Amino acid sequence: MENLILDRNWFKFSLILRLIVAASSDHTILPRVAIDSCARWLYMKAHAINELEKDIQTI
C-alpha cells in the first residue's frame, strides 16, 4: 500500500515537472504556478521526513 502512495506522489511530482518544462517557453503565469506547486509539494515531503526522523529518534 505504501508503494502505491509513493507511486501516486511521484506521478504528481513528475506531472508538475513536465508542466514546468512544457511551459518554460511560454510567457504566461503558468510556469510560476507550476514552480510554486512543486515547491509546496517538496516542502510538505521534507516536513514529513523531518517528523519521521523525530519519531525514529524517540524510539
Question: Could you tell me the pTM of the whole model?
Answer: 0.46
Domain count, the chain: 1
**Domain housing 30:** 2-58
**Phi-psi sector, 28: left (phi>0), alpha (psi -120 to 50), beta:** beta
Write down the residue that cell numbers 511521484 correspond to.
10
Residues of the chain with pLDDT under 70: 1-7, 10, 23-32
Return the C-alpha cell found at 27.
510567457
Q: Is residue 15 within 8 Å of residue 34, measured between CB atoms?
A: no
**19 to 12, 26, 29, 31, 58: CA distances (angstroms):** 11, 11, 12, 7, 40
pLDDT at position 29: 61
Can you give the length of the chain in residues? 59
Q: What is the mean pLDDT of the chain?
A: 72
Tell me the pLDDT tens digit for each residue of 24-39: 665 566 666 777 777 7
pLDDT for residue 46: 80
pLDDT at residue 28, as a whole number: 61
